[in-house]
Amino acid sequence: MTALCGRFRGFLPVVVDVETSGFEPDRHALLEMAAIIIGGEVGQLRPVSTHHFHVQPFAGAVLDPAALAFTGIDPFQPLRGAIPEEDALRGMFRPVRSAVKAAHCRRAILVGHNAAFDLSFIKAAEKRTGVKNNPFHRFSTFDTVSLAGLAYGETVLAKAALAAGLDWDHAQAHSALYDAHQTAELFCRIVNRFDLHQEYS
């Protein structure tokens, strides 16, 4: 079994990271999101394409000052080039659907560090906008918190990345693009070192 379509029961792993204005997906805004599609053959998985969007807060969204200070995002900075949620979702879903088809997979599965958080904001935005054809599994995810805890004994993304031999730049952390990139590299390193045909005792 070398094809990616056979590695995860027909699911294509896609790393997603979102930055938001708080913790509640129905009240707080989705401000930035990045998706990195994973490709390659089994044992040699790697990030193959990146899709990144700055997102305009939806009407009536709560913008928690503490969350904005943490991410460093000014939602109304015109140079962000932010686009409406609907456009951002379509911009993410379209290439993911194409990648699923090209890899002969059944659908995508979201990979994230605290993946349930990222998926909850994607689904809330999907509901608000009415965008159809979400390519991601509705509730199953791969969470690098658990995977890194198993592989390296670390659950914090920065510490797990360092344990995996990756560099870590604190100045770039907490941007969706940087965190998604690091999560993708971490995921690939963990999965590539695990041989399905080896017996573990």
* Catalytic residue set: 174
Judged by DSSP in three states, 19 sits in: strand
144-152 vs 176-192: helix crossing angle, rounded to 10: 50
Q: Return all residues near 104 (Cβ < 8 A) that are at least 6 apart.
A: 3, 5
Phi, psi of 18 (to 5 degrees): -125, 150
Name the maximum alpha-carbon separation found in the chain: 56
Q: Return all residues near 157 (Cβ < 8 A) that are at least 6 apart.
A: 113, 144, 148, 173, 179, 182, 183, 186
Taking the C-alpha atoms of residue 113 and residue 179, their distance in angstroms, rounded to an integer, is 9
Residues 54/16, Cβ–Cβ less than 8 Å: no
Two tokens, residue 64: 């928690």
